[in-house]
């Protein structure tokens, strides 16, 4: 994830895809992949309103917030409960129709594109929060429940779900992409916070990955099916319920900002603060490089020094916060940090973090009329300064605009590539750059995607990352669970053409 805001906030409606859809079949031939018999079977399952062939609806469900062009499905269905999902899946299975699950369409890797047409299962009508157990810190939700909707529901209980990828994403969708967020350093990613899933497989069978209704805080019962499906991006099954781990809302929060003379100094401070950290600082540092800070200064009329900057947040009780802030301040100073500012109350904190929140827009404002694409590599902490320095040199050498923002505590950073989509030469340069960046990360024992997933664009890189044996194991699992290759074709694994 990206900084607190993604392109999803920039344009609330996904109608942007109209600009990109160049190969849309007209409504008359839309259902060419789906016969009338199948359509009436769908209608008898989810009602007349639950099946749509409309061009606008299909386009809306063929695109997410990435730069990948719109690939609309042949038909969109809107099931209302898991039984309907299962019945629809059985129909698709019988007629060998591809199935593409759709949550909120806020993904960043083209995961919902129907590359082979087929049936999009839009799960937004399944929007119940089920089974909240405040005393056990868990809750079960359906796919239509988004992160913000859940946190609003939980307000009065003093609990929250802290994984925050920026967009107001479907929680089941976040499970499907193994989403992460700015709080991952402290609270973990979806992998650590999903306790159980209800999944509909390609043949319509319904599986509960930890057993139906079970929610123990830990288990060693059998294979870890839950984490098999977390991050499977819809290629192994449709997630229809997820049981999540909740946390207490922090009593108090303090935000701080500090500038550093170099990337190395910023990262060193982070590492040392984390190392000092067991009883005290639990930090969520956000790192903005000098190009980004400059953009933010210009966009938001701020005046941060134009050098690498860390934004930190501390959660805890009133007493522990003072201590944490003092320790962090000492560490940053010993690393050459300056202009350490911190704030306790909401209004001042928001002002301090304004730069970070507006970073996406600030990056776009650097080159009006352009689009933004975010890279997503993640490396071990100790390699972060080196990869950022090398990446910046690469950007300058290739005349690319790419302000950097990162979750320093995780070793994960994003280059916001601001590109002109109508300039094929530039797009090509960006593409090559992102490949070099991914390979640089892989060479440093890292991964090509820390948060966003593989989707359409990183399948080849996944092969390099996992190696042939790893990919073969993944393929065997896929072939076992989805022998007809119906679940979200074209994602994660490259298919050998038959």
Partner 1 sequence: KCPRVSPVVTLCYCFVSPQIRVKPDNTGVVTDGVKHSMNPFCEIAVEEAVKLKEKKLIKEVVAVSCGPQQSQETIRTALAMGADRGIHVDVSGKDYENLGPLQVSKILAALAKQEDAQLILLGKQAIDDDCNQTGQMTAALLDWPQGTFASEVSLEGDKINLVREIDGGLEHIKINTPAVITADLRLNTPRYATLPNIMKAKKKKIATVKPADLGVDLTSRLEVLKVEEPPQREAGMKVETVEDLVVKLKEAGRV
Contacts with partner 1 by CB under 8 A lie at: 127, 153, 155-160, 248-251, 317, 346
Q: Which is nearer to partner 1, 137 or 361 (CB)?
A: 137
Closest to partner 1 by CB, 156 or 497: 156
Helices (H), 276-317: 290-300
Taking the complex as a whole, the smallest distance from the CB of residue 273 to partner 1 amounts, in Å, to 24
* Beta carbon nearer to partner 1, 133 or 428: 133
Closest CB to partner 1 among 216 and 248?
248
CB of 462 to partner 1, least distance (A): 39
Helix axes 424-443, 459-481, angle to 10 degrees: 70
Tally the residues of the chain.
498
CB 171, CB 145: distance < 8 Å: yes
CB of 253 to partner 1, least distance (A): 10
- DSSP of 324-362, one letter per residue? HHHHHHHHHHHTT-EEEEEE-SHHHHHHHTHHHHTHHHH
Between 182 and 196, whose beta carbon lies closer to partner 1?
182
Closest approach of Cβ 248 to partner 1, in Å? 4
Q: With respect to partner 1, which residue has the nearer C-beta, 137 or 340? A: 137
CB 63 within 8 A of CB 20: yes
Reduced to 3 states (helix: H, G, I; strand: E, B; else coil), residue 471 is helix
> Does residue 114 contact residue 177 with C-beta atoms inside 8 Å?
no
CB of 57 to partner 1, least distance (A): 14
In angstroms, what is the minimal distance from the CB of 158 to partner 1? 4
Least Cβ distance, residue 135 to partner 1 (angstroms): 11
How far is residue 58's CA from residue 152's CA, in Å, rounded to a whole number? 30
Phi-psi category of 370—alpha, beta or left, where left has phi over 0 and alpha has psi -120 to 50?
Answer: beta
CB closer to partner 1, 104 vs 269: 104
The full DSSP string for 383-448 is GHHHHHHHHHHHHHHTT----EEEEGGGTEEEEEEEE-TT-HHHHHHHHHHHHHHHHHHHHTT-BS
20 vs 124, which CB is nearer to partner 1? 124
CA distance 130 to 81: 13
Q: How far apart are CA 309 and CA 486, in angstroms?
A: 46
Q: How far is the CB of 130 from partner 1 (least distance, A)?
A: 12
Q: Residue 281 and residue 275: Cα distance in Å, rounded?
A: 9
- Rg (the chain; Cα; Å): 23
Pairwise CA distance, residues 367 & 326, whole Å: 39
Question: In angstroms, what is the minimal distance from the CB of 53 to partner 1?
Answer: 14
Closest CA to 109 of 457, 495, 435: 457
Whichever of 96 and 155 has its CB closer to partner 1, that residue is 155
Q: Which of 92, 102, 95, 44 is nearest to 72 (CA)?
A: 102
Q: Closest CB to partner 1 among 345 and 479?
A: 345
How far apart are CB 52 and partner 1 at their closest, in Å?
Answer: 13
3-state DSSP assignment of residue 53: coil
């Amino acid at each position: 994830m990206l900084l607190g805001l993604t392109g999803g906030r920039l344009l609330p409606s996904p109608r942007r895809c109209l600009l990109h859809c160049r190969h849309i079949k007209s409504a008359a031939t839309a259902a060419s992949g789906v016969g009338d018999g199948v359509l009436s079977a769908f209608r008898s399952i989810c009602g007349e309103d639950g099946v749509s062939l409309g061009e606008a609806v299909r386009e809306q469900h063929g695109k997410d917030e990435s730069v990948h062009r719109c690939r609309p499905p042949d038909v969109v269905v809107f099931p209302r409960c898991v039984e309907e999902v299962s019945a629809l899946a059985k129909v698709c299975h019988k007629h060998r129709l591809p199935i593409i699950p759709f949550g909120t369409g806020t993904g960043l890797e083209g995961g919902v594109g129907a590359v082979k047409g087929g049936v999009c299962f839009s799960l937004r009508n399944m929007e119940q929060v089920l089974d909240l157990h405040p005393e056990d810190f868990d809750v079960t939700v359906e796919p239509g429940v988004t992160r913000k909707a859940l946190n609003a529901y939980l307000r009065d209980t003093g609990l929250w779900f802290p994984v925050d990828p920026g967009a107001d994403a479907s929680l089941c969708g976040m499970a499907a992409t193994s989403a992460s967020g700015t709080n991952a350093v402290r609270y973990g990613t979806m992998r650590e916070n999903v306790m159980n899933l209800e999944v509909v497989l390609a043949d319509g069978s319904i599986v509960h990955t930890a057993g139906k209704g079970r929610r123990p805080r830990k288990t060693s019962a059998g294979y870890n099916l839950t984490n098999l499906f977390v991050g499977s991006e819809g290629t192994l099954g449709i997630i229809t319920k997820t049981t999540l781990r909740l946390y207490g809302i922090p009593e108090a929060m303090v935000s701080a900002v500090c500038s550093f003379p170099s990337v190395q100094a910023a990262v060193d401070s982070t590492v040392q603060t984390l190392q000092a950290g067991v009883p005290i600082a639990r930090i969520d540092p956000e790192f903005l490089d000098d190009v980004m800070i400059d953009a933010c200064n210009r966009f938001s009329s701020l005046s941060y020094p134009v050098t690498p900057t860390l934004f930190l947040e501390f959660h805890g009780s009133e007493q522990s916060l003072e201590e944490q802030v003092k320790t962090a301040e000492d560490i940053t100073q010993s690393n050459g940090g300056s202009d350490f500012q911190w704030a306790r109350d909401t209004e001042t904190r928001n002002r301090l973090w304004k730069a970070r929140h507006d970073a996406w827009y600030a990056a776009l404002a650097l080159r009006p009329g352009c689009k933004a694409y975010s890279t997503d590599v993640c490396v071990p902490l100790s390699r972060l300064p080196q990869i950022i320095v090398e990446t910046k040199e690469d950007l300058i050498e290739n005349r690319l605009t790419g302000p950097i923002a990162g979750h320093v505590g995780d070793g994960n950073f994003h280059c916001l590539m601001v590109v002109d989509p109508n300039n094929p030469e530039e797009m090509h340069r960006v593409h090559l750059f992102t490949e070099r960046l991914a390979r640089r990360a892989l060479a440093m024992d890292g991964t090509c995607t820390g948060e966003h997933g593989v989707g359409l664009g990183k399948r080849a890189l996944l092969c390099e990352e996992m190696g042939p044996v790893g990919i073969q194991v993944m393929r065997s699992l896929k072939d076992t669970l989805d022998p007809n290759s119906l679940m979200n074709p074209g994602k994660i694994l490259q298919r050998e053409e038959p």
